Structure 1
Amino acid sequence: MTSTEQAYSAAHLQVLEGLEAVRKRPGMYIGSTDSRGLMHCLWEIIDNSVDEALGGFGSEITIRLESDGSVEVADRGRGVPIDIEPRTGMTGVQVVFTKLHAGGKFDGSNYGAAGGLHGVGASVVNALSSRLDVEVDRGGKTYAMSFKRGVPGVFADGKNAPGPDAEFTPDEGQAELRIIGKTARGVTGTRVRYWADPQVFIKDAEFSLDKLQERARQTAFLVPGLEIVLEDQRDPTEPERVAFRYDGGISEFVDFLASDGPVTETWRIQGGGDYSETIPVLDDRTGHMVSREVARHMDVDIALRWGIGYDTETRSFVNIIATPKGGTHVAGFEQALVKVVRDEITKNARRLKVGNDKLEKDDVLAGLTAVITVRIPEPQFEGQTKEVLGTPQARQIVAQALTTGLKERFTSTKRQDKTETSMVLEKVVNEMKSRISARAHKETQRRKNALENSSLPAKLVDCRSNEVDRTELFIVEGDSALGTAKPARNSEFQALFPIRGKILNVQKASLADMLKNAECANIIQVLGAGSGRTFDLEQARYGKVIIMSDADVDGAHIRTLLLTLFFRYMRPMIDAGRVFAAVPPLHRVVVLHPGKKPNETIYTYSEAELQTLLKKLDRSGRKYQDPIQRYKGLGEMDEDQLWDTTMNPEHRLLRRMTMADAAEAEAVFELLMGNEVAPRKEFIVEGASQVVPELIDM
């Protein structure tokens, strides 16, 4: 036996008691110790309050971010129990906040389907807090208890504001539940305020107001009638307050999430099912855990709609807890959705002209916005972070509920239902045909110039180089601009493609209409990388796409329509920073030189730049040719001027089109280019005062 083996004995085994295990390995309970873990702790406290509202107790929750780094969550639920729990001899408050796997959500008698299911939420937050205060209103009195890193005791705050650095005296034996005030009869509720422990969380961890608002809005959708109030007091000079309340449930949630024009109204499908499972249950007689088969019931509530776009937005929830990574309920939803739609397309194959093409899941999900919620006692999650549902029975129950609901919709004789289901089938088939066409195009597409590839549009003026990173495609406005740009370009690496006027507004049009539009289809074909879900950035034939339009209102409109096409159907090009707008000059100033010295030509790109130049010339006594040439179109330039100012990589100005936030960009495109006229009119009216009439044609 080696010395190392002899030195290892039972004395080296460490037993962590109480909440010590949480502080030793916090990642096991909250995922991480950065901002994500910090927010997860807050969700645990909020979920307990939401569960009370789900049970019909209290209709308002207030979340307040304090300037000292603490956060408070207050509700008007029943209040944490204050009486003695017989097995431990502790008050309900101390049990909830100090004992792992202790709570009122295990036997189903207090909460039918709750969000804080594991019973560790409050105790874990307490363990990872440098201070936690809880106040409970019950029976006409207000009770309070404080903890320091999970240990109950009393802080000597005195007249100072409460904080984790105050002198602390731990309670010996059972902790005292102090009475600190009185309440009106019938008033109940719980307030939890805590300071996250800097010994646990990294220095940069902070609460995100945006994510908090998103979660509060989401919860308000999922619990109709519940009002959630957020107060951000971290900057006392600029406090923020926002409240969320929705009475329409998940149907209203789907309408909020959907950013494209509708193909169908929002469909609501509800159902449920019974099942049994074997779980460990505490036997009151023996005090031991025994396995018993228990009957369960699951409620399913789904809202979905198809839009004209191709992006999919699916949100799933279990007892109002988000499951961003899906699980068995999402698998059941997708399985039933694809099967029902595939069966309906088979029945209508001749009318839809399907042929032998095979439908795939992505074809059905294109343009779909859906919210899937299930209510289930004691669901099986994969880990405490509850991101994936593992309950196996959920798959079949959700699939059956959705199948029944969709079949009722597809077999309905109501005129609106028949119209909407027919439009859904046509959209799905168009997506399938587009995918198959794009895949075939991608498989056969090779890097060829216009002479070698007869499938490319005849009006494409291609370049000679095969080096994609070096090449540039200029989309120019009309034949007049093409006539000037063609002799001006460097034919080695610069290609030209003219468009005729304003292309289709694809934000308002369906996929089928976009594909039928010659200009849109030609641009997609010239780029050679497909469109929508099948777009492959590596197959793009050009390294840069440069929109070169006139410096007037029509040119700006054409540029906007082209950007809408790229955003909607070729977004990876924007994400990769490969879409640009050319910046042609607005003025040409010829500075006169005396004698035989040649005159100097200076270009300016804005009215302000021109006025600054003219003042500078006047001050220096230099003369310039009058009138000053004002360019209103690219066709007014000769080839040398266009090359020098707009196409020469050494001198030109390009604006790179970027997108910092896809959701925000989606909202802006829908506002400015979508079907809803009223929001756009409001935007124009509100911004009218900022328009400078003298610059309106620039």
Structure 2
Amino acid sequence: MTAEYSAHHLQVLEGLEAVRKRPGMYIGSTDSRGLMHCVWEIIDNSVDEALAGHGSHIEIILHADGSVEVRDRARGIPVDVEPRTGLSGVEVVFTKLHAGGKFGSGSYTASGGLHGVGASVVNALSERLDVEVDRGGKTWAMSFHRGEPGEFAGGSPDSSFTPYENSSRLRVVGKAAKGVTGTRIRYWADRQIFTRDAVFALEDLQQRARQTAFLVPGIEIVIRDERSSAEPVTTSYRYDGGISEFADYLAHDPGVTDTWRLQGEGTFTETVPVLQSSGAMVPTEVERTCEVDVALRWGTGYDTTMRSFVNIIATPKGGTHQQGFEAGLMKVLRAQVDQNARRLKVGNDKIEKDDILAGLTVVLTVRLPEPQFEGQTKEVLGTPAVRQIVASVVAKQLAERFASTKRDDKAQTALLLDKVVSEMKARLSARAHKETQRRKNALESSSLPAKLVDCRSNDVADSELFIVEGDSALGTAKLARNSEFQALLPIRGKILNVQKASVGDMLSNAECASIIQVIGAGSGRSFDLSAARYGKVILMSDADVDGAHIRTLLLTLFFRYMRPLIEAGRVFAAVPPLHRVIVQHPGSKPNETIYTYSEAELHALLSRLKRAGRSWQEPIQRYKGLGEMDAEQLAGTTMDRAGRTLRRVQAPDAESAAGVFELLMGNEVAPRREFLIDASGRLVRDRIDA
């Protein structure tokens, strides 16, 4: 280390060296996320061509050797010489940062690849990249090794590579049919750059392709995965319904409204630096047009699903367009609630953003030339003027919907206002309840249900709440529990199916309300995991079909209104035994009691005893319910930590789990019938408790 610091310590990175030196600046990271970002940079260029009206078919191939290939049938990358650099258009696109056809207004009115660094960054971070272009009746080709043009002796990245020394050459490798144009890009990611565990995730690629097909109606995107030794997996995506179909796809709950479409546009001026022929950058004022297209619908749930896009590029962290959407939504709905205050009985209370967003599914898209993003990964839109344009379009279109005299519109807007106000009242009620609990001290009486048999411990992490089916099982469980840390809450049979019921019906149901009250953390959007009174919630139902149904109804309640408990791994299902086998011992030796938990386990035990010449008492006891056990048996098999078995309830993919709950427990009968018929072939008859 030295204190000296002079000009010779400065390092100037030329060309693509900067990308290889600091890849995170361009692709976000060097793990799987960055690897996928490279694919999307290439795909987005093909999609931009489709948006401009050239080519509607894109094919993505994941090859077995780890390479990725993207094919399109668009105009093809220009192959003529770019006058300033003296290089072919292909070489300019793949070797020069900030070079592309999307800076001016001649080629694209709106596009995703805006910075001109996408293809060149992918090239810089690839061990090998091959590009073929069909254009002008010929097939042109060029290869690169870590961004440097040249020729490979073979077809793999390990083949010997000869870089061009004096001048590069765009080779003609074949003939293209008349009128046929397109581009094929195949590259091998450089493992010197990316981490060892970085992989191309097929599921992420399919999700992005599906999303793009929704956003660009009429485009077909085909993904072919050839990496496995089995047959290649091919999936194709094409949707002609646009973002309305996208919103319907994303929504999992029954609708309060239909899917509404809000469309409009606005203009704004901005000052941008324009490069003059003299080489000087001159600030110039230009007029831009911003097109806004929104598809939204409200459902009976409380989750918010929002997808926002700029020129079909996803902006997961929002930006000015999302701020404008929320501002326009707030303006209209607050005005409507104020106008209908007497009917809705809102008093002086004001709705907030969370009340409006509850149950909302929205796809927000804007299209404009040269948007300003925060960073190359394009996750946040920064163009300031877009906020006011989106807010204005949303407010105007939504106000027209509320002013409509059509019967369907009037009925749906009335239901929407009722939902928003009910969300507001639930939020205020939850806040009041929380404040009441905070003010209470140890000397005041508890408001918990009388049927709760609470534990003595105040240690939340160590405490357990058993939700017990029926009063008969409660009596046994009282004697079997450890009263220091185990609490009991009995329920009467099958509770309300909350997947079909409204929030109001759920809260007015005695059993559901008792469970929420006892856990003490609220419900829905206001659920506070840190306020939960118990470390574990254990569902203890009979080991029969009715018990399984009760457990499913309880899980539906927890997933829909107390999901953080499941995500934190704090919900369990008890596993009571099905059989009690008393093995007889000769002489004065006491008999041995063995419990089994399935028919298969019982038959295996009996076969093992028979081979050993052991006998057992007949008849073997078959437990039909928890109430048939005495306290010692229930404690030893189901409640005592030393001998029990618990099944942790988890939902690693919340979106898929929500779809399963809606399929099995929702209002739509036809999909459930189809599922049962299709799944009947996989039924294991021995598992039926008959």
Instruction: Give me the CA root mean square deviation.
Output: 1.9
CA deviation after TM superposition for structure 1 residue 12, in Å: 3.7
Aligned partners of 1:82, 1:227: CA distance in 2, in Å? 26
2:383 counterpart residue number: 391
Which residue of 195, 199, 202 corresponds with 1:206? 199
Name the count of aligned residue pairs.
690
Does 2:156 align with 1:163?
yes
Cα deviations by residue, 1:246-290 (Å, 9 ceiling, x for unpaired): 000000111111111111111110011000000011224x23221
1:228-377 equivalences under 5 Å are 228-284=221-277, 286-377=278-369
CA deviation after TM superposition for structure 1 residue 452, in Å: 5.9
Q: Contact 1:450–1:462 (CA<8 Å) still a contact in 2? A: no
Letter in 2 for 1:69: G
CA deviation after TM superposition for structure 1 residue 13, in Å: 3.2
Aligned partners of 1:690, 1:646: CA distance in 2, in Å? 30
CA deviation after TM superposition for structure 1 residue 676, in Å: 2.1
Higher alpha-carbon deviation: 23-32 or 550-559: 23-32
1:425 counterpart residue number: 417
CA deviation after TM superposition for structure 1 residue 358, in Å: 2.3
TM-score, with structure 2 as normaliser: 0.97
CA deviation after TM superposition for structure 1 residue 556, in Å: 0.3
> Tell me, which stretches of 5 or more residues in structure 1 are unaligned?
none
Which residue of 145, 149, 155 corresponds with 1:148? 145
Letter in 1 for 2:62: L
CA deviation after TM superposition for structure 1 residue 487, in Å: 2.7
1:125 counterpart residue number: 122
Letter in 2 for 1:514: M
2:34 counterpart residue number: 37
2:638 counterpart residue number: 646
1:591 counterpart residue number: 583
Give the 3-state SS of the residue equivalent to 1:146 in structure 2. strand
CA deviation after TM superposition for structure 1 residue 200, in Å: 1.6
Give the 3-state SS of the residue equivalent to 1:144 in structure 2. strand
1:608 counterpart residue number: 600
Does 2:179 align with 1:186?
yes
2:53 counterpart residue number: 56
1:496-535 equivalences under 5 Å are 496-535=488-527
Higher alpha-carbon deviation: 395-404 or 450-459: 450-459
CA deviation after TM superposition for structure 1 residue 447, in Å: 11
2:435 counterpart residue number: 443
1:64–1:195: structure 2 CA closer, same or farther, 3 Å change rule? same
1:409 counterpart residue number: 401
1:496–1:464: structure 2 CA closer, same or farther, 3 Å change rule? same
1:165–1:663: structure 2 CA closer, same or farther, 3 Å change rule? same
Aligned partners of 2:617, 2:441: CA distance in 1, in Å? 44
Q: Contact 1:450–1:456 (CA<8 Å) still a contact in 2? A: no
Higher alpha-carbon deviation: 27-36 or 547-556: 27-36
Which residue of 85, 90, 99 corresponds with 1:88? 85
Aligned partners of 1:24, 1:494: CA distance in 2, in Å? 58
CA deviation after TM superposition for structure 1 residue 398, in Å: 0.4
CA deviation after TM superposition for structure 1 residue 484, in Å: 2.3
Letter in 1 for 2:255: P
Aligned partners of 2:245, 2:420: CA distance in 1, in Å? 24
Q: Contact 1:585–1:631 (CA<8 Å) still a contact in 2? A: yes
1:596–1:165: structure 2 CA closer, same or farther, 3 Å change rule? closer
Letter in 1 for 2:517: Q
Give the 3-state SS of the residue equivalent to 1:355 in structure 2. coil
Give the 3-state SS of the residue equivalent to 2:244 in structure 1. helix
1:592–1:3: structure 2 CA closer, same or farther, 3 Å change rule? closer
2:216 counterpart residue number: 223
Give the 3-state SS of the residue equivalent to 2:245 in structure 1. helix
What percent of counterpart residues are identical?
73
CA deviation after TM superposition for structure 1 residue 434, in Å: 1.1
Give the 3-state SS of the residue equivalent to 1:475 in structure 2. strand
Higher alpha-carbon deviation: 582-591 or 54-63: 582-591
> Tell me, which stretches of 5 or more residues in structure 2 are unaligned?
none
Aligned partners of 2:442, 2:586: CA distance in 1, in Å? 49
Give the 3-state SS of the residue equivalent to 2:235 in structure 1. strand
Give the 3-state SS of the residue equivalent to 1:445 in structure 2. helix
TM-score, with structure 1 as normaliser: 0.96
2:538 counterpart residue number: 546
Q: Contact 1:447–1:466 (CA<8 Å) still a contact in 2? A: no
Aligned partners of 2:350, 2:296: CA distance in 1, in Å? 24
Aligned partners of 2:357, 2:414: CA distance in 1, in Å? 16
CA deviation after TM superposition for structure 1 residue 59, in Å: 0.6
Aligned partners of 1:132, 1:101: CA distance in 2, in Å? 19
2:63 counterpart residue number: 66
CA deviation after TM superposition for structure 1 residue 381, in Å: 0.3
Letter in 2 for 1:280: P
Letter in 2 for 1:561: L
Cα deviations by residue, 1:449-504 (Å, 9 ceiling, x for unpaired): 99964422222122222222222111111222222222332222222111112111
